[in-house]
Structure 1
Amino acid sequence: MIRVILADDHTILRDGIRALLAGEPDMEVVGEASHGQGVLDLLADTSADVVLMDLNMPVLDGFATMPLLQEHYPGVRVVVLSMLDSENYVHRILQAGALGYVLKSAESSEIIFAIRTVAVGHSFLCTEVGMAVLNRLVKIPNADAVLASRKSGDLSSREMEVLRLIAEGLTNAEIADKLFTSKRTVETHRQNIIEKTQAKNTAALIRYAMSQGLIE
């Protein structure tokens, strides 16, 4: 039996994953936490094989939690379940000790397979992340990828949406409402956009977007 702890600050997502894993005869959810400190507190009294963990959490996020898990609970394997698709984030968290990385947009079957794979000590990347890494490594020519790199500084489709809404003058809260997500998620997207485009502030970001033809 694979004993799993779920760590995500969105209750509805944890409920969905718990329901998904309830249908697997070899898996059992033994605890839930809304942040990394909650995971550490759970592990003090609860035996677990795998932690399925978001990166973007309050109190103690995934990046801060990972080294503490490695130090205090090295036998616990970690699968990151995140909406963040930046290769930089994938690289950082895998270097920190996580064995798996799955996007929240992945099929449920990939999440289940990731847990089983990591539970036996093997690494796992979901299809979308794995193909992005492979394409970069072997430099497979792809017209869409080339166009995206020329125009967007490697922005994801969701980051492009956020960029356009920023340029329209919407606040983070307004963007969150429009995209049906949290304000903190929008703030993360905004920071990722600024890092990728190397714009120093919002005004510079809008000028960049206009110069690249991303917005009118």
Structure 2
Amino acid sequence: MSQIKIILVEDHQIVRDGIKSLLANSIDIEIVNEAENAYELFEILKTDLPDIILLDISLPTMSGIEIAKILAREFPSIKILMLSMYTSEDFVFNALKAGIKGYLPKNITRYELILAINEVYKGNEYFSKSISDTILKSYINNAKLNAKSSSEKLDNLTLREKEILRYVAEGYNNNDIVERLNISIRTVETHKTNIMKKLELHNVVELVKFAIKNNIIEI
């Protein structure tokens, strides 16, 4: 395998030296250049394109996240591996949105740093356990919030509205519902409008998806 070419972007010399020492004896990985800020990095990229950029978040003049956005747009072949002391949810998800392929804390071990570089080089994503835990925790919390939100919305419906919701989701048209419930078409339409408003839906397709997701109907 040819050597994996790395550019290291970090504004503290002592940190760069530490990372270089971790990778010094790796025969498959070579740090081909270093930069302290965005300007230096983009000057290097005019003549030297690496396989991976090891990128810090906290940098002078332009943050690592803003740099990552530009790299993802202008240099899509370069893979970005974020290496940062900031591991909170906001930083991680902003970095993910920017297009990074991996995220590591700065207290990473030599073994895991090399593993992450190789995985990202192969086209995979890599996140340290602490970062993966952050992502998973956020996903679970969001799922709980969404479930709670759907439940609260359903609780706002009257019994008649829930009944009409089920009929609409099952494919019954207004005339069918009129016959089954012995109410006027105007009443059916009013109920449907109120249901859409209370559930914050915009069309029947969204209503059907909501009904399936919340076990109102079965498929």
Deviations 1:82-116 (A, max 9, x none): 00011111111111110000011222221111111
Q: Which residue of 2 aligns with 1:208?
A: none
Q: Which residue of 2 aligns with 1:203?
A: none
Does 2:58 correspond to 1:52? Answer: no
Q: Which residue of 1 aligns with 2:95?
A: 93
**Secondary structure at the counterpart of residue 139 of structure 2:** helix
Deviations 1:5-60 (A, max 9, x none): 00000101111111221211100111000112221111111120000010000022
CA contact (8 A) 1:79 1:100 kept: yes
Deviations 1:163-206 (A, max 9, x none): xxxxxxxxxxxxxxxxxxxxxxxxxxxxxxxxxxxxxxxxxxxx
Contiguous gaps of at least 5 residues in structure 1: 140-216
Q: Give the TM-score taking structure 1 as reference length.
A: 0.61
CA distance in 1: counterparts of 2:70 and 2:134, whole angstroms: 29
CA contact (8 A) 1:37 1:65 kept: no
CA distance in 1: counterparts of 2:48 and 2:16, whole angstroms: 18
Q: Which residue of 1 aligns with 2:9?
A: 7
CA distance in 2: counterparts of 1:58 and 1:22, whole angstroms: 27
1:1-216 alignment runs, 5 A limit: 1-138=3-140
**Secondary structure at the counterpart of residue 134 of structure 1:** helix
**Secondary structure at the counterpart of residue 103 of structure 2:** strand
CA distance in 2: counterparts of 1:121 and 1:25, whole angstroms: 20
Q: CA RMSD in A?
A: 1.4
CA contact (8 A) 1:40 1:69 kept: no
> Cα distance 1:86–1:33, how it changes in 2: closer, same or farther (>3 A)?
same
CA distance in 1: counterparts of 2:68 and 2:95, whole angstroms: 8
CA distance in 2: counterparts of 1:56 and 1:100, whole angstroms: 16
Higher mean C-alpha displacement, 75-84 vs 100-109:
100-109
Contiguous gaps of at least 5 residues in structure 2: 142-219
**Secondary structure at the counterpart of residue 57 of structure 2:** coil
Q: Which stretches of structure 1, 4 residues or longer, exceed 6 Å deviation after superposition?
A: none
Q: Percent identity?
A: 32
CA distance in 1: counterparts of 2:63 and 2:136, whole angstroms: 28
CA contact (8 A) 2:80 2:102 kept: yes
**Secondary structure at the counterpart of residue 92 of structure 1:** helix
CA distance in 1: counterparts of 2:70 and 2:135, whole angstroms: 27
CA contact (8 A) 2:89 2:138 kept: no
CA contact (8 A) 1:101 1:126 kept: yes
Matched residue type, 2:4: I
Matched residue type, 2:20: R
